[in-house]
């Protein structure tokens, strides 16, 4: 897990607890952590959205997928297919759709977005 590796490399193992829990498992974990000494939850995408909407009392910091992340994915799609105008399908949560659509238009990607279920 990348986060665990970085925390270890920085010598901060003793300062952070790291959990892997997506979507509804993330909500269950966040609810459990409310009874522990936790200052903030850091997560991304749909999990962050669901935890925030669940009303958990711990502040949530969302790690967003950046335009650079998306540009790399679309560039790789062109590279792998050898096409300048590839057809790409992405499974995405509602909080990501607008950014993905804008960038796909700029980079000439024929995009189909499948909404991800919040579970």
Tens-digit pLDDT profile for residues 79-115: 999 999 999 998 777 777 888 888 898 889 999 988 7
What is the residue-averaged pLDDT of the chain?
85
pLDDT of residue 119 exceeding 80, the answer is: no
What's the pTM?
A: 0.64
Give me the mean pLDDT over the 7-14 stretch: 81
Between CA 75 and CA 107 the distance in angstroms is 8
Residues in a beta bridge with 87: 110
Tokens of 92: 């995405």
């Amino acid at each position: 897990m990348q986060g665990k590796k970085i925390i270890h490399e920085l010598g901060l193992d003793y300062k952070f607890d790291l959990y892997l829990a997506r979507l509804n498992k993330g909500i269950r974990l966040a609810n459990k952590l409310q009874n522990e000494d936790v200052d903030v939850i850091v997560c991304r995408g749909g999990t962050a959205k669901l935890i925030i909407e669940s009303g958990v009392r711990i502040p949530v910091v969302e790690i967003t997928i950046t335009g650079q992340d998306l540009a790399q994915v679309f560039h790789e799609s062109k590279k792998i297919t050898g096409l300048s105008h590839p057809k790409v399908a992405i499974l995405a949560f509602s909080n990501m759709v607008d950014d993905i659509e804008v960038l796909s238009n700029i980079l000439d990607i024929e995009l189909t977005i499948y909404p991800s279920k919040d579970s």
